[in-house]
Amino acid sequence: MNFKEQAAGRAMDYVKSGMALGLGTGSATAYFVDLLGQRLQEGALNDIRAVPTSQATAARARGLGIPLTTLADLSAPEGAVPSRPLLDLAVDGADEVDPDLNLIKGLGRALLREKIVGMHARRFVVMVDESKLVSRLGKQKPLPVEVVPFEAQVTVRWLDSLGCRGELWLEEDGSPAVTDNGNYLARCWFQDGIAEPHALARTLAGRPGIIEHGLFLDMASLVIVAGESGVQILEQSS
């Protein structure tokens, strides 16, 4: 059993019958979805509804018989004030985790949907192997940014002005990488990491042409880390 599979196994401890779940995207989540499907088939869990964050996750879940729904179907009737988050739990992986449990996510190409689903969860549980822990975000992996196709190269040039090396994410054949939403992706490489993630998030959010970015700040409720010494749980301090 590899580290991601171990982390996914621990994440299953937080799942109870009757829950509405958010299912992330990526290799760690694939292990979690497989385990969830197995528990449902065995009868260890029941009355589960899940909102997938990508077409790939949706296809995997359907193949395992996991009932799927949408945030809209879980919402309160029009005009009513929601009394609680729409999802009991969202479970996902991450590309980097800093000491404050801030994340870089989105190298699995689903950052916009992952953020929409994650923000509607009572608890956001993140599964990683120990290699994803960093002292500063952006030290090991690029920051993905989802951009509109219109004049995408101009948007990438602007990203270059933020103290990083911005590039349009290209497939092996040279065509732009396209998300499930029909948008393009850029990657931003920071030589010394991202000094001020919150300030950068605000800057990116205010730029026309940028749909969403992969900085998931102050969102993770806990991070499950699997490594050579076993599995540890990192939680937000109150």
Catalytically active residues are 114
**What single string gives the DSSP state of each residue in 195-219?**
S-HHHHHHHHHTSTTEEEESEE-S-
Terminal alpha carbon distance of the chain: 33
CB 14 within 8 A of CB 23: no
Cα–Cα distance for residue pair 38/66, rounded to 1 Å:
9
Candidates 209, 213, 98; CA nearest to 152 is: 209
Distance CA 99, CA 114 (A): 21
The rounded radius of gyration (Å) of the Cα atoms in the chain is 18
Distance between CA atoms of residues 233 and 227, nearest Å: 12
Please list the residues that pair with 90 across neighbouring strands. 22, 124
Question: Of 93, 33, 109, 111, which is closest to residue 225 (Cα–Cα)?
Answer: 93
CB 200 within 8 A of CB 190: no
